[in-house]
A and B are shown apart, each in its own frame.
Chain A
Amino acid sequence: MEVFSHDILIVGGGGAGLRAAIEIAKSNPSLKTAVVSKVYPMRSHTVAAEGGCAAVLKEDDSYDLHAYDTIKGSDYLADQDAVEAFVRDATREVIQVERWGCPWNREDNGRIAVRWFGGMSKKRTLHAADKTGFHLLHALFQTSLKYDVIKRYDEWFASALLVDDGKIGGLLAYDIRRGEFHILTAKAIILCTGGVGRIFYFSSNAGIKTGDGAAMAYRAGAPIKDMEFIQFHPSGLIKTGILITEAARGEGGYLFNNKGERFMEKYAPTKMELAPRDIVSRSIIQEIRAGRGFDGTYGSYIHLDLRHLGEAKIEEKLPMVRELCIDFAGMDPVHEPIAIRPTMHYTMGGVHTDKDGKTPIDGLYAAGEGGCVSIHGGNRLGSNSLAEIMVFGARAGKSAADYAAKTKPASTDKLKSLAKQEMDRIEKRYIKTNNGKERIGAILSDLRKTMDEKVGIYRKEGELSEAVQAVRKLKERFNNIRLTQQSKVFNTELLNAMELDNMLDVAEVVALGALNRKESRGGHAREDYPNRDDANFLHHSLAYQTPQGPRMEKLPVTITKWKPEERKY
């Protein structure tokens, strides 16, 4: 085991991580900064974001309007001071990334173009066709290459935070290529590891979305927040859950049931198809339950119809939708309606931070989907997440840089002893499991099935208790795993075992948080408690790890000037 010294480590090389790295390199180039990512940065899941990135850019828009839309969209669980900071910074960030080469779509006069998105009261979603995340990620990654001070550990997996006396000292990381564990020291660490989508089977998320940062922070003693709030996106392709962007509706696409009705007029007469995602997803389930869905080999679905937009507009504004339909559903949306149903899409919760990305552990920061500021509260508006990763990546980078510049590193001896304890745990838990019998593939498959069936769009007491118990059983089974090999080089089986361990820890908090929240708010819909209950539940949920399982605490929501009101569209 070797020791590599740094001032700041960023875990995760997606949009938030790269934006943080660039911010540090620009603001204090004397800091030794490195990005630790389990995949090459351009493979990160930011790459799959499609529809766009929200910011106040046009003359008819205002920060207050963007803030209000975001807060109403969050079902009043967003912290309003954080949202106010977010909407202001977002404008600067979308122009900053334009200066770094992002090919935003343009108007004829050369200005950046915007489109409609769900829950937004103005056109304010910038976009690069419907490959916005792809273009943003590559622009950020390629720009980061300009800074030689940003070192990278590509295909290294961060396995544990090393916390000395309440302060960050570094992390233990697994070099996947060589199969070795090493100590990376740091005065500050920024977790930019994304959400935990893979605990669900029917999900738009990539295989790498295993909640690593949330689990790592949780095990190190930091609270994770609002994990019960999971976003289901209305339009997943029926076989795979692959995302068809909300921009398809933003550009004018319709949703139809089997009676040929644009059913959204019953549920959100003003916004119709462009109501926020939680509402559209529930409406689709209601239609299917009432027998107004279509039935097929892969279950029930409804139609997303783009045919009236015409081939030229689809090619110009939604080329990826067309590619995805052809490659992954074997149909062409120019000629046929798309069969869709809601797919797990986004983790609103994450590592608890303030609006500068700071967590309660000194030196630990988080940003992006893996963090929870919270600006999304109970439900994120489409196109706010790409803005978020840049805004809070930059803010966390700046505050981590300020902190690291005035902080002394932890003692190397202490870190070595912490790393040894962690290494012993890893050996015992994952590697020397000769008597184990359980296959990790089977545990993962059971976890995803449990979450889909019992912690889905509509939730209720009995199923949620069963889910908590089921996840706890899976955790017991995990204590009895057996890997089929001990080899070192690119052992993805060991990697997958560590990821699954992370997923189980986070899934337990998701299910327990959902069980405890006896109300319906945003993406959390309880059939047994169908209304929002501000008297008892206008608060965030914090989960701390204890040997007995998660300990849940409440945290008040910050309200500045938008009092909670009924949420109608």
Chain B
Amino acid sequence: MAEQITLTIYRYNPDKDTEYKQQTFTIPYHKDWSVLDALNHIKAEVDGSLSYRWSCRMAICGSCGMMVNGTPRLTCSTYLNEFYPKEITLEPLANFPIVRDLVVDLTDFMGKLKSVKPWIIRENKKDDEDTSKEYLQTPSEMDKYYQQSLCINCTLCYAACPAYGLHPDFLGPAVIALTYRYNNDSRDQGILERRKVVAAENGVWKCPVVGDCTEVCPKHVDPSAAIQRTKVNSAVGWFFSRLQGKK
């Protein structure tokens, strides 16, 4: 008999279930299959009712994050051979409300994303219209924010963040990293507007510096470092604004 692997998948269908349950699937083992390949096999061949999100299957769209044996991972780039012959347990991303099976509710994250004004803010609103020439930005200026611009919004860092688990109002790692990305872009002038959100009660100060966000980030955005640097900048910014008599 061909080699097989067992996946235990958390199932929940609000149309009929009152609580979560586990379902076990034993399928052919292919050493070059990703966990997502296994899910697609199950959906096409075994149980069409299984729901999960996926799209690009090349680790850039950010859709297919799940808890794989308790750790938030992108399932398209996590392979069965990392676990075989052990079983794999798949759960929806932790810390989010569950919509169905492996699909979580991203409403809160999407709202937080918008709340920090993740776009170029200019004092002169007309700057946006002027396409007669590009802004200049040297490679070293770009280096100051580039790493934080690589976030794919996969929300693995929220699933890993103990603070977000305890305080759902916490802005969270990816959104603060994005704030850092715009604040440190030489083209942007919006740092004070964003500080009202990131330095407020549910901003950077809720972060206990555990660093799990950086650990699980598939794109090496290092949200933890962005948060700690934002703390320093906010404190220094606050101090100088007091010296200058501003609020």
Given the interface pairs A48-B56, A441-B44, the reply to whether A110 lies near B141 with Cβ below 8 Å is: yes
Question: Could you tell me if A490 and B103 are in contact, using CB atoms closer than 8 angstroms?
Answer: yes
A327 interfacial contact with B, CB 8 Å: yes
Q: How far is the CA of A236 from the CA of B59 in the complex (A)?
A: 16
Given the interface pairs A103-B142, A327-B77, the reply to whether A109 lies near B136 with Cβ below 8 Å is: yes
Q: Which of B13, B60, B114 contacts A145 (CB 8 A)?
A: B114
Question: Could you tell me if A106 and B138 are in contact, using CB atoms closer than 8 angstroms?
Answer: yes
Q: How far is the CA of A245 from the CA of B133 in the complex (A)?
A: 28
- Chain A residues positioned under 8 Å from B44 (CB to CB): 439, 441-442, 444-445
Question: Could you tell me if B138 and A489 are in contact, using CB atoms closer than 8 angstroms?
Answer: no
Which of A99, A242, A491 has the most CB atoms of chain B within a 10 A radius of its CB?
A99
Q: Which of A106, A142, A143 contacts B142 (CB 8 A)?
A: A106
Given the interface pairs A39-B55, A327-B77, A440-B48, the reply to whether A99 lies near B128 with Cβ below 8 Å is: yes
B135 to chain A, nearest CB (A): 7
Question: Could you tell me if B58 and A48 are in contact, using CB atoms closer than 8 angstroms?
Answer: yes
Question: Could you tell me if A441 and B60 are in contact, using CB atoms closer than 8 angstroms?
Answer: no
Q: List CB contacts (< 8 Å) of B36-56 with chain A.
A: 43-45, 47-49, 51-56
A18 to chain B, nearest CB (A): 12
B128 to chain A, nearest CB (A): 6
Question: Could you tell me if B137 and A484 are in contact, using CB atoms closer than 8 angstroms?
Answer: no
Q: List CB contacts (< 8 Å) of B132-171 with chain A.
A: 132-139, 141-142, 145-146, 149-150, 152-153
B242 interfacial contact with A, CB 8 Å: no
A410 interfacial contact with B, CB 8 Å: no
Given the interface pairs A45-B56, A207-B57, A493-B49, the reply to whether A110 lies near B136 with Cβ below 8 Å is: yes
Interface readout for B74-116 with A: 1 if CB under 8 Å, 0 if not? 0001000000000000000000000111010010001001100
- Chain B residues positioned under 8 Å from A101 (CB to CB): 119-120, 182, 185, 187-188
**Chain B contact surface mostly:** loop
Question: Could you tell me if B100 and A43 are in contact, using CB atoms closer than 8 angstroms?
Answer: no
- Chain B residues positioned under 8 Å from A426 (CB to CB): none
- Chain B residues positioned under 8 Å from A45 (CB to CB): 55-56, 61
Q: List CB contacts (< 8 Å) of A213-252 with chain B.
A: 239-240, 242-243
B15 interfacial contact with A, CB 8 Å: yes
Chain B interface size, as a band, is 35 or more
Residue ID in chain B nearest A113 by CB atoms: B139
Given the interface pairs A106-B142, A490-B51, the reply to whether A40 lies near B106 with Cβ below 8 Å is: yes
A154 interfacial contact with B, CB 8 Å: yes
Question: Could you tell me if B117 and A146 are in contact, using CB atoms closer than 8 angstroms?
Answer: yes
Question: Could you tell me if A242 and B131 are in contact, using CB atoms closer than 8 angstroms?
Answer: no
Residue ID in chain B nearest A237 by CB atoms: B58
Given the interface pairs A95-B131, A106-B139, A208-B55, the reply to whether A177 lies near B99 with Cβ below 8 Å is: yes
- Chain B residues positioned under 8 Å from A320 (CB to CB): 60
Q: Which of A48, A107, A483 contacts B48 (CB 8 A)?
A: A483
Chain A interface size, as a band, is 35 or more
Interface readout for A22-55 with B: 1 if CB under 8 Å, 0 if not? 0000000000000000011011110110000000
Given the interface pairs A98-B135, A99-B135, A110-B138, the reply to whether A489 lies near B99 with Cβ below 8 Å is: yes
Interface readout for B187-205 with A: 1 if CB under 8 Å, 0 if not? 1100000000000000000
B32 interfacial contact with A, CB 8 Å: yes
Given the interface pairs A106-B137, A106-B138, A483-B48, the reply to whether A489 lies near B14 with Cβ below 8 Å is: yes
- Chain B residues positioned under 8 Å from A98 (CB to CB): 134-135
B120 to chain A, nearest CB (A): 5
Question: Could you tell me if A206 and B142 are in contact, using CB atoms closer than 8 angstroms?
Answer: no
Question: Could you tell me if B15 and A492 are in contact, using CB atoms closer than 8 angstroms?
Answer: no
Question: Could you tell me if B57 and A240 are in contact, using CB atoms closer than 8 angstroms?
Answer: yes
Question: Could you tell me if A439 and B59 are in contact, using CB atoms closer than 8 angstroms?
Answer: no
Q: How far is the CA of A399 from the CA of B32 in the complex (A)?
A: 49
Residue ID in chain A nearest B145 by CB atoms: A103
A477 interfacial contact with B, CB 8 Å: no
Q: How far is the CA of A66 from the CA of B101 in the complex (A)?
A: 50
A532 interfacial contact with B, CB 8 Å: no
A487 interfacial contact with B, CB 8 Å: yes
A328 interfacial contact with B, CB 8 Å: yes
Q: How far is the CA of A24 from the CA of B153 in the complex (A)?
A: 26
B62 interfacial contact with A, CB 8 Å: yes
Given the interface pairs A206-B55, A328-B77, the reply to whether A489 lies near B15 with Cβ below 8 Å is: yes
Q: How far is the CA of A96 from the CA of B146 in the complex (A)?
A: 19
A443 to chain B, nearest CB (A): 10
Question: Could you tell me if B138 and A323 are in contact, using CB atoms closer than 8 angstroms?
Answer: no
Question: Could you tell me if B134 and A47 are in contact, using CB atoms closer than 8 angstroms?
Answer: no
- Chain B residues positioned under 8 Å from A483 (CB to CB): 48
- Chain A residues positioned under 8 Å from B99 (CB to CB): 177, 489-490
Interface readout for A308-332 with B: 1 if CB under 8 Å, 0 if not? 0000000000001001100110000
Which of A96, A103, A177 has the most CB atoms of chain B within a 10 A radius of its CB?
A103
- Chain B residues positioned under 8 Å from A135 (CB to CB): 149
Q: Which of B53, B57, B119 contacts A143 (CB 8 A)?
A: B119
- Chain A residues positioned under 8 Å from B127 (CB to CB): 99
Q: How far is the CA of A242 from the CA of B59 in the complex (A)?
A: 11
Q: Which of B62, B128, B142, B150 contacts A42 (CB 8 A)?
A: B62
Interface readout for A436-455 with B: 1 if CB under 8 Å, 0 if not? 00011110110000000000
B224 interfacial contact with A, CB 8 Å: no
Given the interface pairs A99-B128, A146-B119, A490-B100, the reply to whether A207 lies near B138 with Cβ below 8 Å is: no
Q: Which of B16, B32, B49, B54 contacts A207 (CB 8 A)?
A: B54
Given the interface pairs A484-B48, A485-B49, the reply to whether A47 lies near B61 with Cβ below 8 Å is: yes
Q: How far is the CA of A445 from the CA of B47 in the complex (A)?
A: 16
A42 to chain B, nearest CB (A): 5
B130 interfacial contact with A, CB 8 Å: yes
B234 interfacial contact with A, CB 8 Å: no
Which of A143, A177, A487 has the most CB atoms of chain B within a 10 A radius of its CB?
A487
- Chain B residues positioned under 8 Å from A487 (CB to CB): 13, 15-16, 49
B118 interfacial contact with A, CB 8 Å: yes
Given contacts A111-B136, A487-B49, 16 further A-B contacts (CB under 8 A): A39-B55, A42-B152, A43-B61, A45-B55, A47-B60, A47-B61, A47-B62, A99-B135, A99-B187, A104-B134, A109-B136, A110-B136, A145-B117, A242-B57, A484-B49, A490-B100
- The 5 A-B pairs of least Cβ separation, nearest first, read A441-B44, A110-B136, A490-B100, A487-B15, A484-B48
Q: 7 A-B contacts, Cβ less than 8 Å apart?
A: A104-B134, A145-B113, A206-B61, A207-B54, A489-B14, A489-B99, A490-B101
